[in-house]
Amino acid sequence: MPFSYGTDHLEHAFGDRPLPYITYGLPFDQAAAHHIESTLHAKRVYIIASNSLSKNTSALKRLQDALGDKVVGLRIGMAPHTHWNQVLEVAKDAAPKKPDCIVTLGAGSLTDAAKVITYMLSNDITTSEGMEKLAASPNDFKDPSVKHVAIPTSLSGGEYQALAGVTRDDGSDRKCLFLLPKQNPYLVILDPELTTTTPERIWLSTGVRAVDHCVETICSLLSNEKGDAEAEKGLLRLIPSLIRTHKNLKDLDARFETMRGVMEAMSAVSSGVPLGASHAIGHQLGPMGVGHGETSCIMLPAVCKWNEKVGANVEKQANCKKILLRSPIVRELLGAKHGKDTDSIDKLDLGDVLDVIFRQIGMPRTLKDVGVGRDKLDILAENSLTDHWIQTNAKPITEKEQVMEILEMVVE
């Protein structure tokens, strides 16, 4: 059914758990005002808004006008990749205002920040030491009483899981993962028209991040039936809709389809399938200034090729390639690039297929493309070995040299 405005839809994002709810069908500001009043029954709202949205669009003003005197505090802008000191800064600013709801208007960095901040506010955490304790032992803390409403403007998908990544400000450039036990946000507002304000490269690359979730789920040697099924649905929805969006940035149907595809990708992730080296290396590339999703554009095909080379998950990759080839638009792209005959298609591995798709939508494909030089490879490889998903790669990666082999494939 084509996307349209006019009727509010409120439903569970996932059939197997209560949170988050999603709502769509109303403009984001109307949906926020309605559900904060009628669904959450919240009275005191603290807004964390994207700097670019606030400066370049009317989105923040629309949200403030819709919420009126419920707004008790506002933070405009946070650095990409959710920095530790800024999370602490916002929590300290919000605490005396006693909000019962945090609304994030923007992409994944704001969403991750709010996940941690709701726990901090609900547990009176206002110090870096308190954050360290929350990261180390999240189950020792009370579930958040402050509700989080996310209005996403990218396809990062962080709004569908409790996990939050925060970049340390100690010079290490490492991501600290908060494995928060309670699903947060409470409500996700989907408005495809709002996302037309997002730069194309950010929108499409974060969509590739969702593709990465699907591919590494399907290719995992520890996958399960639910994860595989959701990842397959997600792939077959995401790839065509990303290509459609690239062709017409105003195609709201395609944008809404990608949003639905992200939910399927995140459902696959939530099935408990451990992911692999694309995610692990990507986590450590982020703090080096590489955008959310661009990490996947660069690393996923290379990781697939490396795993294939070492014979780690050959059958799984062949199955993933077969799924992608069920999409007519993918077959068309491959035919234009490599020839339409069966022999030409058969010679391609999964990494080749992904490379064609990512190039078609204009995504970066090397570390050089995103400003990461050879001088950063050593620290990137070392940091990647600390990530929890590096050892759940199809071939567990335990040596720096193994990471370097993968990085050399994409250095320039």
All structural domains of the chain, each given as residue ranges with its CATH number in brackets, are 9-190 (3.40.50.1970), 200-408 (1.20.1090.10)
pLDDT in tens, 267-314: 999 999 999 999 999 989 988 989 879 999 999 999 999 999 999 999
pLDDT of residue 172: 81
Query: How confident is residue 242, by pLDDT bands cut at 50, 70 and 90?
Result: very high
Q: How many angstroms separate the Cα of 102 from the Cα of each of 74, 86, 105, 302, 393? A: 10, 16, 10, 39, 36
**Please, what is the Cα angle at 350 between 349 and 352, to 5 degrees?**
70
- Mean pLDDT, to the nearest integer, of 192-198? 97
- Mean pLDDT, to the nearest integer, of 109-130? 97
pLDDT of residue 384: 96
pLDDT of residue 1: 63
Token pair belonging to 394: 């199809």
Q: Is the preceding peptide bond at 185 cis, omega within 30 degrees of 0?
A: yes
CA distance 84 to 170: 9
pTM over 0.75: yes
pLDDT of residue 171: 82
Mean pLDDT of the chain: 95
pLDDT in tens, 43-102: 999 999 999 999 999 999 999 999 999 999 999 999 988 999 999 999 999 999 999 999
Query: How confident is residue 183, by pLDDT bands cut at 50, 70 and 90?
Result: confident
- Among 185, 169, 180, 163, smallest CA distance to 114 is for 185
Rg (CA), the chain: 21
The residue written with tokens 């391609």 in the block is 348
Query: How confident is residue 200, by pLDDT bands cut at 50, 70 and 90?
Result: very high
- Report CA 365 to chain centroid distance, whole Å: 19
Position 157, amino acid: G
Other beta carbons within 10 angstroms of residue 259's beta carbon come to 25
pLDDT of residue 41: 98
The yes-or-no verdict on residue 132 having pLDDT over 70 is yes
> Which of 99-103, 156-160, 334-338 holds the top average pLDDT?
99-103
